[in-house]
Each structure stands twice: as structure tokens, then as C-alpha cells.
Amino acid sequence: MTAQPDFPEVPRLNDLARSSSTLGYEIVDLAGFLDMIERQAQDQRTALEVLSGSAADIETANDAVEAAATDLVQSVARTQAEVGQSVEMMRDLGSRSRDVAAWVQDLSDRSDTVGKTLAAVKTNNSQIAAISMQVNTLAINAKIEAARAGDAGRGFAVVAEAINELSQKTKSAAAEISANIETLTHWIAALGTEATDVAEQAMDVIAQSTETDRALARMEQSVNDTRGEAARIAEHSAQVQQAIAAFGPNMHNIGQSVAQTSDGIVEAHGRIERMVDTSEEIVQSSAALGGMTEDAPFIEDVRRRSVAVADAFEHLLAEGHLSEASLFDRTYITLPGTRPPQVATSYNDALDRILPPIQEPALNFDERVVFCAAVDINGYLPTHNKKFSRPQSDDEVWNTANCRNRRIFDDRVGLKAGRNTAPFLLQVYRRDMGGGTFKMMKDLSAPIFVRGRHWGGLRLAYTF
């Protein structure tokens, strides 16, 4: 039986530590990807809610359009009937106007004929009056001759007298007839003038009624066209309603699918977070058992500096430069006009004096070190490295990357770093650099105890 070879235990621990660190990187990177997917899913969920609301608004608006189209069709139908009646009325009126115009024209023509007849009668009557004058003269001459004849001419005188009376009566009758003819002539003339005016007006009415008839015909055609368009609107509106009716359930199904996906991503994210915690525990355990990785020098450095910070804090308390109550002050006052918001506490000035000599040299410990800063148990970072403690500008994105002092970093990494009480805590995370930019980092922290009380932790962040 072949004996199994002995494998050194320390190399195994070293391999385990390195594998744990690599696993943590991959898991955190995956968690970052899930964060992005979760945000996208949430954005899609929000967009779907807005889209569903818009679809509901469209449905409501389409209902209004459909109702309006139905009312329009009915209104156009009523208008069409009324226009049709008006067209028939105008056509009948035009026909009557033409009949009246023809009658008036005939009346005018007859008036002219009557006028001519009266003129002829007047002429004949004048001739009768002239003859009557001649008869009267002859009768007078006959009476004179009868008087000269004496008794022999008496009978002739009687006849002459009768002829004279007849001529006088004829003259009077002719004069009266002439006066009546004159009056009748004036009346006929006036009637003819009025008939002519009426005829002209009737022709104008006929012309206007003809144009009105054409306009009404065009209106009738327009109403017919409008009715057809309204009917098409109603038809399209019904089609839109059918499409929306089919769209709604599909939107609901998509929304449910996105919601389930989002919930699944949240659940997966939670499981990833637990895997991150597990990988960190493996790293802690392997390091505690003596496993050596590239992180070992950083672990040693951050633990040494955390002790130095604790000693500096206790020196402040011992010298009376700061009270214990002030050092453990958890009252954060927002500094006005800061974006992102910065806050202040009662111990800021004291820590600004003692922390830079401990934190700044850590930046030169290794070229991969990005920052070294102390945080309290709530993730509050009072004094940062000088390169991250610049005065704020009007650019919030720039401020996010360059003005990181006096900030509360209460994300998972910041809180765990501040609340960890184990000798050290190694975390892998995606650092938010502002403007949607992230950088994969390692966050190594060691707790800070002052007079037996846990104040927070010293964070040392470096790149892979």
C-alpha cells in the first residue's frame, strides 16, 4: 500500500487565503453586477408603471374620442337632415320665385299692351271730341239759318237744337272719358314701372336663390363627407380600443414578469451578500490560523495604526483636550450648502490635529493604497486624507470624488468597518467614485478602542 505524501499545512492555508480573497473579489464583482441589474429592473418597473398609466390615459382619452365621434356622427346626421330640408326649401323657393318673376314679367308686358290700348282710345276719343265740336258748330249754323227762314224753318230748328244738345253731351262725355283715360294711363304706367322693378328684384332673388342652392348643395356634400370621416374616426377608435384592450393584459403580464425578476434579483443579491460575509469570514479564519497572503503586510500595518489612533485619542482625554463625552458624540450637524451633505461634530477640530500624522504616511506604505481614514461606529468619517478633503465646489460629481471628509458612509462596507470588533476585517467592494463610476477595492479595517469602549475603526483601502 502506497503511503500518502504529507502536504505542508501552511501552504494549504496560504492557498486557502488567496482563494478566499479571489472568491471575495468575484462575489463582490457579481454583487455589483446584480446591483446594476437591480437598478435597471427597478427602472424598467418604474417605466412599465408609467407606461401602464399612459396606456390607461390613452384608453380614457380614446373612450372620450369614441364618445365624441359617436356624438359627431349623430350630430352630422341631424345636420344632414336639416341641410337636406333647407336645400329642398330653397329649391322650392327658387321655383316659386321663378314663377312669380314670370308672372310679374307677363304683368309688365300686359301693362304695356294696356297702355298702348289706352293711348289708342285716347286718340279716338280726341277725334270724337273734335267731331263733336264740328257738329256743334253745324248745329249753331243750322239754328241761325232756321231763324232766318221763319215759320218754315221751325221744324229744322228743333232738329238743330236736338243735334246741338247731343253734340254738347258728346263733348262732355268725351272730356270725361279723356280724364278717366288720363288717370288710367298714369296708373297703368306706374303699375308697369313697379312691375318692372319687381321683375328685376325677382330676377335678383332667382340668381341669389340659385347661388344659395349651389352653396347648400356644397354644404350638403361637405356634411356627407364629414359624416363619412366621423364614421371612420369611430371605426378607428373602436380598433384602438380593441388594441388597448389586448395591450393591457400584456402589460400586466410583463409587469408581473419584471416584478418577479426584480424580486428574484433582490433575493439573489441577499444571497450574494451572505456569500460575501462568508468569504470574509474564511479570509479572517485563514489569517487567524496563520495563512499568509499579499494582504498580510496591510493587515499588520492597519492594526498598528489603529492602536496608534487609540493611543492618540486616550492622550487627548488624559491631557484634557477633549472629553470622553465629546469623543463619543453621535450628534451630526449638517453643514449648509454642501452637496453631497457634510456633517460636523464637537470633536472635529481635535481629530483634524491628531489624525493626519497617523493617516497620511499610510498613503506611502504601498502604491496601491488609496486612502486611510478613521470612521466611527455609524460610518462617520471626520478627518480624511488631505487629497480627499478639498473645499466643495458647485459640481456635486466632483465633490463626491474629492470632498469625502465630514461624510457619513453608512453603506455595508462603511458600517461593517466601523462596527467590527475582530482584530481586523478584510472586505472587497466597489467604491463609488461619483458620476456612475465604480472601482474595485479592498477595505481593510481594525477596531479602535478607547478606555475599553468601541469608538469605531481605522479603514485602509487599496486596489488589487
DSSP string, 51-71: HHHHHHHHHHHHHHHHHHHHH
**Strands 425-434 and 407-408: what pairing?**
unpaired
**Residue 312 vs residue 225, higher pLDDT:** 312
Average pLDDT over residues 16-31: 64
pLDDT band at 464 (very low <50, low <70, confident <90, very high): confident
pLDDT band with cut points at 50, 70 and 90 for residue 2: very low
Whose cell is 478566499? That residue is: 20
Q: Which of 430, 454, 433, 456 is nearest to 443 (CA)?
A: 430
How far apart CA 379 and CA 409 sit, in angstroms, is 5
Mean pLDDT, rounded, of the chain = 78
**Which residue would you say has higher pLDDT here, 234 or 420?**
420
Higher pLDDT among residues 16 and 70, named by residue = 70
* Biggest alpha carbon–alpha carbon distance for the chain: 212
CA distance 383 to 405: 6
Domains of the chain (ranges, CATH numbers): 58-245 (1.10.287.950), 294-462 (3.30.450.20)
256 dihedral zone (left: phi>0; alpha: psi -120 to 50; beta): alpha
pLDDT digits (tens, 9 = 90+) for 324-363: 999 999 999 999 999 999 999 999 999 999 999 999 999 9
Q: Which residue from 24, 30, 21, 19 is spatially nearest to 268, judged by alpha carbons?
A: 30
Q: Is 418 exposed, middle or buried (0-12, 13-18, 19+ CB in 10 A)?
A: buried
pLDDT of 314 reads 97
Q: How do residues 148-169 score in pLDDT, each as one tens digit?
A: 777 777 776 777 777 777 777 7
CB 443 within 8 A of CB 31: no
Structure-model confidence comparison of residues 6 and 74, the more confident one: 74
| φ, ψ for residue 375, nearest 5 deg | -130, 150
Q: Give the model's pLDDT for residue 308.
A: 98
Q: Give the model's pLDDT for residue 251.
A: 63
**pTM, entire model:** 0.53
Determine the average pLDDT of the residues in 189-216. 70
**Gap between the Cα atoms of 445 and 442, Å rounded:** 10
Mean pLDDT of 430-458: 86
Interval 79-83 mean pLDDT: 70
* AA letter at 211: E
- Please name the residue that has the C-alpha cell 290700348: 117
Do the beta carbons of residue 375 and residue 405 sit within 8 Å?
Answer: no
Three-state secondary structure call for residue 339: coil
Region 284-306: what's the mean pLDDT? 80
